[in-house]
Structure 1
Amino acid sequence: MPSSSPVELTILMPCLNEAETIAVCVDKAQQYLASSGVSGEVVVADNGSTDGSQAIAKEHGARVVEIAKKGYGSALIGGITSARGEYVIMGDADDSYDFGSLGGFLQRLRAGDQLVMGNRFRGGIAPGAMPPLHKYLGNPVLSTIGRLLFRSPIKDFHCGLRGFDRASILGLHLQTTGMEFASEMVVKSTLSGLRVSEVPTTLKKDGRSRAPHLRSWRDGWRHLRFLLIFSPRWLFMIPGVVLMLIGLLGSALLMLGPIRLGGIGLDVSSQIYLVALAIVGYQGLLFAVLTKIYAQHEGFNIPRGRNFERLEKRVSLESLAVLGVVLFLVGFVIAIIQFSTWAASGFGALDPTATIRIAVPAVLLMILGAQSVMAGMFLGVLSVGLRRQ
């Protein structure tokens, strides 16, 4: 457990086999504390090093915290929990960041900011310090997606040097154990209304002779996956609504007869594909609603607009079941009418095109009805789980 000693700043370094660089990083951090007169400590959150990094860090005055659970996020969560400082500034232990120049971070923290991110694109990236794939594609694209989805002011989501108010960050209950921890911290800080800012910081080529732990495509995907999953509006709702409207409108128009768009003719075969779009779109819409309701029940801080708040009050097992039954019955009645017409003609040959033109919308309504009922049942399961708590 953290001590009650009056420590203002903890400089935290996650570490996994950084024997080549851990000493210089700890020394720079200690020199910053000494020269600035800040009451602080240097903590190394070791994630199972086998190269003697722990002993080197201790020899140079750092407090080493052993973190058994593997992963960048795990190491940092363990280090933050063990920190004694009111503020924490974290940075990689590979000598790519200058721990002797932390004044800008501490100044913003003392001014009341609760998360202060370094911005490498404003501060400068030394030649060879960042692979071109990361510099021109990975970081800019993922940061832009994060800014778009969560309206975050941060322009460098993945800078490894960042400072924060320890109590505020612990209050976010960060969960991810891998590299996506960097995105989770920014996203949850933004959604929770914390005061967030950036300061320019420099990135130089790290001092390691081995390959970095970061895996470009694997870890990039984990960041992107987290951003999308944490935004069901963009992952499910918007694509779902677009697909559903295209499918419903198109299939409804084709009920009236063939359509020509320039030199392209659309008929019942197109109607079948449009119905498939409507089904997939409706499923996406249901997923968006259920995901947000589940997130609310479990305490996840997922964005929720006013329209959704109103929708949630009207969505229940009963309302979805009623909607589903009505849709199913409408489709079933159309099917019965078609069957009766066929029976009245003596079950003779039918015009396939005319029959399919009406049968396809009937099938669509029955499928949407069944989906609605099952979604209502799932919502009921969520409610039962909530009452057991």
Structure 2
Amino acid sequence: MRRQPISEQPFLSIVIPAYNEERRLPPNLKRVLEYLDTQPFEAEVIVVDDGSEDRTVQRVREVAADDPRVRIIENEHYGKAYAVRTGMLAARGEIVLFSDADLSTPIHEIERFFPYFEQNYDIVIGSREGGGPNQRVGEPFYRHLMGRVFNLLVQLLAVPGIRDTQCGFKAMRREAVHDLFPRLRIHDGSKGPVKGSMVTGFDVELLFLALQLGYKVKEVPVEWRYGRESKVNPLIDSWRLFRDVLMVRWNHLLGRYDMRPKAAASNHPPTAH
């Protein structure tokens, strides 16, 4: 049975960037929608296709044909960072979450975030640190080591105090989305389409600007499972991440970021409805 259309402003928007995800995405979309069926609030799911070369778009359209909570945006292949940006700015929810297509962090972990929005945090990010020995499931030792070394550099150069900038599970108020994302300069699509999959440091740029502009950011431990089909290239992507962190500092040093005060945020915490 086809569902009724959702309201103009749902409580939650879930943005999922996708690149060649015809196999993993359909069952994961089903999991997301089944979770939302159990919640008291209205929500939308926005899949941003990053120029996939497989049948990702067709598969998402099939789901969207039966469920108006799902919509798809088709980009050229500009990379994950630009796909996330596109979806976040198109979202209508009071709270906007972006999540990886593989659901390495289960969608129900969003429930850990809601209390902090009620405490007037602007941005709540998932962290693969601080949750105990069983938090990171199935992760190879070398990947964990890479992550810790990278984070030490990130804390030194850009975002002190944040233990995990790269977990693909972050949420923020809609006002913060529309203030921060237009300020991003790295991977903003201005250099045209890219080749292959890309792991980038846009999360670092986003959090750096958020802290510089005075947004309240909360890091919350979440469950995370390593995906065996991970598209991370340890050497190439490690260099790209480090280069992006240096670019954030360089852009800031040269005054390339718009650092005017943030837009006025609501004094009232969002309430699920």
Asked whether the equivalents of residues 202 and 244 of structure 2 are also in contact (C-alpha less than 8 Å), the reply is no
Asked whether the equivalents of residues 90 and 160 of structure 1 are also in contact (C-alpha less than 8 Å), the reply is yes
Q: For residues 237 and 115 of structure 2, what CA distance do their matches in structure 1 show? A: 32
Asked whether the equivalents of residues 121 and 217 of structure 2 are also in contact (C-alpha less than 8 Å), the reply is yes
Match for residue 167 of structure 2? 159
Match 1:135 to one of 137, 144, 152: 144
Asked whether the equivalents of residues 117 and 154 of structure 1 are also in contact (C-alpha less than 8 Å), the reply is no
Match for residue 117 of structure 2? 109
Q: For residues 29 and 100 of structure 2, what CA distance do their matches in structure 1 show? A: 11
Task: Provide the secondary structure at the position in 2 that maps to 1:171.
Answer: helix
Match for residue 191 of structure 2? none
Q: For residues 20 and 216 of structure 2, what CA distance do their matches in structure 1 show? A: 34
Match for residue 34 of structure 2? 31
Task: Provide the secondary structure at the position in 1 that maps to 2:109.
Answer: coil
Asked whether the equivalents of residues 52 and 77 of structure 2 are also in contact (C-alpha less than 8 Å), the reply is no
Q: Which structure shows the higher helix fraction?
A: 1
Query: C-alpha displacement at 1:154, in angstroms?
Result: 1.4
Q: For residues 110 and 220 of structure 1, what CA distance do their matches in structure 2 show? A: 36
Q: For residues 100 and 53 of structure 2, what CA distance do their matches in structure 1 show? A: 18
Match 1:224 to one of 232, 235, 242: 242
Match for residue 125 of structure 1? 136
Note closer, same or farther for the CA distance 1:86–1:175 as it changes in structure 2 (3 Å cut). farther
Asked whether the equivalents of residues 49 and 83 of structure 2 are also in contact (C-alpha less than 8 Å), the reply is yes
The equivalences for 1:201-212 within 5 A come to: 201-206=222-227, 211-212=229-230
Task: Provide the secondary structure at the position in 1 that maps to 2:13.
Answer: strand
Query: C-alpha displacement at 1:200, in angstroms?
Result: 1.4
Match for residue 190 of structure 2? none
1:87 correspondence with 2:95: yes
Q: For residues 235 and 122 of structure 2, what CA distance do their matches in structure 1 show? A: 31
Q: For residues 216 and 190 of structure 1, what CA distance do their matches in structure 2 show? A: 28
Unaligned 5+ runs, structure 1: 233-287, 302-389
Q: For residues 59 and 107 of structure 1, what CA distance do their matches in structure 2 show? A: 34
Match for residue 175 of structure 1? 185
1:145 correspondence with 2:159: no
Note closer, same or farther for the CA distance 1:95–1:229 as it changes in structure 2 (3 Å cut). closer
Q: For residues 56 and 100 of structure 1, what CA distance do their matches in structure 2 show? A: 23
Query: C-alpha displacement at 1:135, in angstroms?
Result: 0.5
Q: State the structure with more CA Rg.
A: 1
The total of aligned residue pairs comes to: 233
Asked whether the equivalents of residues 118 and 162 of structure 1 are also in contact (C-alpha less than 8 Å), the reply is yes
User: Could you report, residue by residue, the CA deviation over 1:38-84 in whole angstroms, capped at 9, with x for unpaired residues?
Assistant: 21101101111232122222333321111124211111111111111
1:44 correspondence with 2:47: yes
Q: For residues 241 and 170 of structure 2, what CA distance do their matches in structure 1 show? A: 17
Match for residue 58 of structure 2? 55
Query: C-alpha displacement at 1:4, in angstroms?
Result: 8.2
Q: For residues 108 and 47 of structure 2, what CA distance do their matches in structure 1 show? A: 16
Unaligned 5+ runs, structure 2: 1-5, 188-197, 260-273
**Structure of greater relative contact order (alpha carbons < 8 Å, 6+ residues apart):** 2
Note closer, same or farther for the CA distance 1:299–1:92 as it changes in structure 2 (3 Å cut). closer
Note closer, same or farther for the CA distance 1:229–1:49 as it changes in structure 2 (3 Å cut). closer
Asked whether the equivalents of residues 158 and 204 of structure 2 are also in contact (C-alpha less than 8 Å), the reply is no
Match for residue 316 of structure 1? none
Q: Which structure shows the higher strand fraction?
A: 2
Match for residue 208 of structure 2? 187
Q: For residues 106 and 26 of structure 1, what CA distance do their matches in structure 2 show? A: 21
Asked whether the equivalents of residues 44 and 93 of structure 2 are also in contact (C-alpha less than 8 Å), the reply is yes
User: Could you report, residue by residue, the CA deviation over 1:132-177 in whole angstroms, capped at 9, with x for unpaired residues?
Assistant: 22201x2112222222233533111110111112321331222322
**Percent of aligned pairs with the same amino acid:** 25
